[in-house]
Each structure stands twice: as structure tokens, then as C-alpha cells.
Homo-oligomer: A and B are copies of this chain.
Amino acid sequence: MGTVLRDVRTIEHHDLPVDIRIDGNVIASISPSPVTPNNDDDLIDGRGKLAVPGLVNAHGHAPMTLLRGIADDVPLKTWLEEAIWPAEAKLSADDVYWGTLLAQMEMVRSGTTQFVDMYFHVDAIARAVTEGGLRAMLSYGMIADRLDRKGQEELRRTEQLVRDWNGEADGRIRVAVAPHAIYTCGTEIWRKAVDLATRYNVPIHTHVCETTKEVDDWRSRHGCTPIAEMERLGVFSVPTVAAHCVHVDGEDIGYLADNHVTVAHCPASNAKLGSGIAPLGQFFRNNVSVAIGTDGAASNNNLDMLRELRLAILLQKASRQDPTAMNAEMAFSLATTNGAAACGTNAGVLEPGALADLVLLDLERCPTMPVHRPLSAVVYASDPASVTDVFIDGRSVLRNGEFLTLDEEEIRAHARTIGSRLIG
């Protein structure tokens, strides 16, 4: 049984509707003439809808939906030490499971089909992803100074996670190795992490150069930037998702460009925590690959990639006083093609053979209409209510605004209960 999306428009074919045929988990064909559906095919009326590749959220911490708004408008240190860490200490594996289901609801309704994550209780996250239906690259955020018992245990957990979950859920789940940051993991941990990633052929996922303080502290103690240190440690011999990269110099940019690194740019989180605005213009000029992420809901405060896309553009244009600093096409490719490439998945495009991760939007409604250019409508004007249908890995997870794989009422009930306990 396949699926036929009949009479749908795409960004490339916005004047004449096409039929998109999904077979199994891939896009089988996109053709202007009507496709004859098989008897057991699911036939979807795509009239008035625009099909786009699903968005890829390139960096986040899904269960932090439970900590949304627990503290705002305070310095990073206060935010972490007085709000986030005490609340995280209360999170059970079961909480993390429900928080990840809540995150998937939020991501699906705003058009996200794949996400990159780093957290703890990752088995629970993987179970939630198996059920919820998204595609994800999961990781356990290791924090350890040395290769002592704690350090060994962090590495053991990561290896176990790779063994247990990499390639599971019909291939929807991938696992990355995640030393949390250069300043929270010692040299030996980083070297072992690189070995592990190499041995299992999985990427590295980390945070780097998020704040000026991080970079200044590292430089004053070690005489180089965090990114130069990562280069020295051989990290970039492995494909790497480097979240943030707000404060980088010319040499750093060279390292990012010359290796298989994707910067996971998190504009809202970097803005809200006062970290700054990443130099996307320099990244683009130097061919650094950039994707876009929401970061966790505790610093965002949601997981809406449509907002994130638009914000990424507006921050560049405003801070550089240049309306041509970034355009809708660039931003959209960051959030689709580049995000998927960072995960090593053949998604982020609508073409035959690509994974069937796609989203239908109804742009003929008041926040987006009239539609002069579909991509402009998606990037600058749409909101989650524009998203009507979502397919991931060929499977329908949202249809006419209704979740098919996620039990909205049950998830809400659990989120409410856990939320009350966290601030109690």
C-alpha cells in the first residue's frame, strides 16, 4: 500500500499541480499527469495545498518542553543554576518519555519531520520517537573531566545507546556521540568519543562557542579557541553537528569549512539568553554548512521551526542593516537540505528516491494569503495552523490537523501533571 498526494503544488511546480506517489518510505514519483492509484493506495486530496520537504530541527533537547518558561529574562548562570538544573534533577525517565512525546506533537504541527537531540534518559526518548513517528538523531550528553569511573560510565552509556538504538525504528533513529562541550569534557573523553564515533561510523554532536565567556575563558586558559582545540583533538575527522558557533574567528571558520561540520544555528536561544547572533554571512561566504535548530524549549520557548527560520533571517538583516543579507530560499535550504545532510539522511528534498518526509501546507488562509510566491508565504508568513498534513518515512502522522501517531489528550494530561510537580 502506498500513498498518492493528488493535485498538490510544490515550490518548483507551483503553477501546475502534480501527483506525488509515496511507496514504502520513499517518494516514488512526482509527475504532472494524474497517477493511477492502486486499489489499496491511500489517496489524499492535495488541492489548494503546497507540499514541501519536512523541516529538520538541527539541535535541541526535546524533553525540555517540560521546562518551557520555567525561567526567562535572566542571565545564563542564574537560568542554569537556579532553574534548569534543579528542575532537571527531578526528571525521571518516564517524564523524559512524555516530554519527548509533547515535543513531537509540537514539532509535527509546525512542519518538522526530523530532529537532532542531546539529553539524558535517552532510552526513554528513543521509545517516544519509536511511537511518535519522527525521524531523529539522538545522543546522550556526556559530561566528564577525566577517564575515571564517571568518564568510563559516560562513554559506556553512549556506546550502549549506539548499540541499542542506531538504525532502529525502521531506520528512523540514528545515534550520535555527544561530548556535551569542550569545557565540560576532558581531553581523554574527547579522544575516546572520537574513537567511538569512528568505530561505529556515527557523527559527533556537541555545543561549541555559544557565549563570549566560553571562548574567552578557554582562550585565556589554553591559548586557542574551542574550535581550534577540537581540530587538534581530531574531532573533525568525524562528521560533526556543532551547535551554536556564535563567537568564532577566521581560523575557526576555516576549520568548520574544511571539514564535514554542520553548524546548528539556534537563533532564538542565542538571542533569548543574550549569547548574540552567529555570523551567518561569514559562514555563507566561506562555504560553511549551516542548519537551523530551536535548541530546547526552556530557552526558546518553543520548537516551531517556521518561527526559527524567519527569525534567523530577520536577525541577520537587522544586525547587518542589509535586506539582502539572507533570503527565503537560503533559509529554507538550511532548514531542509542542510539539516538532513547533517543527519546523513536522504531527506530534505522532494524528489524521487528521497525519503518521504514531507509536509502539506494550506496557504490559502489569512496569515499567508494572497500567495504571490509560495516560498515567501512559507518562510515569512505561515504559522503552525498552515500545516495540515505531515508524512514521515512514508507514514501519515498528521492528517487534516489531527495527530495519527500521538495521543494528544493523553500527552497533555501527562505534561500537565509533570509540569505541576516540577514547580511544586
Cα distance A373–B370 in the bound complex, in angstroms: 36
Cα distance A376–B70 in the bound complex, in angstroms: 9
The answer to whether A325 and B420 have CB atoms under 8 Å apart is: no
Enumerate chain B residues within 8 angstroms of A75, measured Cβ to Cβ.
323-324
The answer to whether B371 and A301 have CB atoms under 8 Å apart is: no
Encode contact with B along A389-424: 1 for CB under 8 Å, 0 otherwise.
000000000000000000010011001101110110
CB contacts under 8 Å to B, within A69-101, are 69-70, 72-76, 79
Task: State whether the Cβ of A57 lies closer than 8 Å to any Cβ in chain B.
Answer: no
- Taking the closest CB of chain B, its distance from the CB of A72, in whole angstroms, is 5
Stretch at the interface among A132-140, A160-168, A249-257, A273-281: A273-281
Please classify the interface of chain A as helix (H, G, I), strand (E, B), loop, or mixed, using the class held by over half of its residues.
helix
Cα distance A412–B366 in the bound complex, in angstroms: 7
| Closest B residue, CB atoms, query A103 | B366
Task: State whether the Cβ of A235 lies closer than 8 Å to any Cβ in chain B.
Answer: no
Enumerate chain B residues within 8 angstroms of A366, measured Cβ to Cβ.
65, 102, 105-106, 109, 408, 411-412
Which of B79, B271, B317, B384 is in CB contact (< 8 Å) with A318? B271
The answer to whether A412 and B276 have CB atoms under 8 Å apart is: no
Enumerate chain B residues within 8 angstroms of A66, measured Cβ to Cβ.
370
Task: State whether the Cβ of A36 lies closer than 8 Å to any Cβ in chain B.
Answer: no
| Closest B residue, CB atoms, query A329 | B73
The answer to whether A68 and B372 have CB atoms under 8 Å apart is: yes
Question: Given A371-B419, A416-B370, A275 and B321 touching (CB < 8 A)?
Answer: yes
- Total interface residues on A, CB under 8 Å, equals 77
The answer to whether B76 and A323 have CB atoms under 8 Å apart is: yes
Cα distance A330–B408 in the bound complex, in angstroms: 33
Task: State whether the Cβ of A314 lies closer than 8 Å to any Cβ in chain B.
Answer: yes
User: Which of A297, A322, A326, A369 has most chain B Cβ within 10 Å?
Assistant: A369
The answer to whether B311 and A314 have CB atoms under 8 Å apart is: yes
Enumerate chain B residues within 8 angstroms of A212, measured Cβ to Cβ.
321
Which of B304, B314, B408, B422 is in CB contact (< 8 Å) with A367? B304
The answer to whether B419 and A323 have CB atoms under 8 Å apart is: no
Cα distance A131–B328 in the bound complex, in angstroms: 35
Task: State whether the Cβ of A327 lies closer than 8 Å to any Cβ in chain B.
Answer: yes
Encode contact with B along A193-237: 1 for CB under 8 Å, 0 otherwise.
000000000000000000010000000000000000000000000
The answer to whether A416 and B369 have CB atoms under 8 Å apart is: yes
Task: State whether the Cβ of A121 lies closer than 8 Å to any Cβ in chain B.
Answer: no
Cα distance A75–B314 in the bound complex, in angstroms: 14
Cα distance A322–B371 in the bound complex, in angstroms: 38
Enumerate chain B residues within 8 angstroms of A418, measured Cβ to Cβ.
370
- Taking the closest CB of chain B, its distance from the CB of A177, in whole angstroms, is 30
Task: State whether the Cβ of A146 lies closer than 8 Å to any Cβ in chain B.
Answer: no
| Closest B residue, CB atoms, query A105 | B366
Task: State whether the Cβ of A243 lies closer than 8 Å to any Cβ in chain B.
Answer: no
Enumerate chain B residues within 8 angstroms of A415, measured Cβ to Cβ.
369-370
The answer to whether B383 and A73 have CB atoms under 8 Å apart is: no
Task: State whether the Cβ of A44 lies closer than 8 Å to any Cβ in chain B.
Answer: no
Task: State whether the Cβ of A264 lies closer than 8 Å to any Cβ in chain B.
Answer: no
The answer to whether A416 and B364 have CB atoms under 8 Å apart is: yes
The answer to whether A302 and B380 have CB atoms under 8 Å apart is: yes
Q: Kindly list 18 other residue pairs between chains A and B, CB separation below 8 angstroms, not including A69-B371, A106-B367.
A: A67-B372, A72-B380, A74-B323, A79-B323, A271-B315, A271-B317, A272-B323, A274-B321, A300-B381, A301-B381, A302-B368, A307-B307, A315-B315, A315-B318, A366-B408, A370-B415, A371-B419, A372-B419
What residues of chain A have their CB less than 8 Å away from a CB belonging to chain B?
Answer: 65-70, 72-76, 79, 102, 105-106, 109-110, 212, 267-268, 270-277, 297, 300-302, 304, 307, 311, 313-315, 317-328, 364-373, 376-377, 380-381, 383-385, 408, 411-412, 415-416, 418-420, 422-423
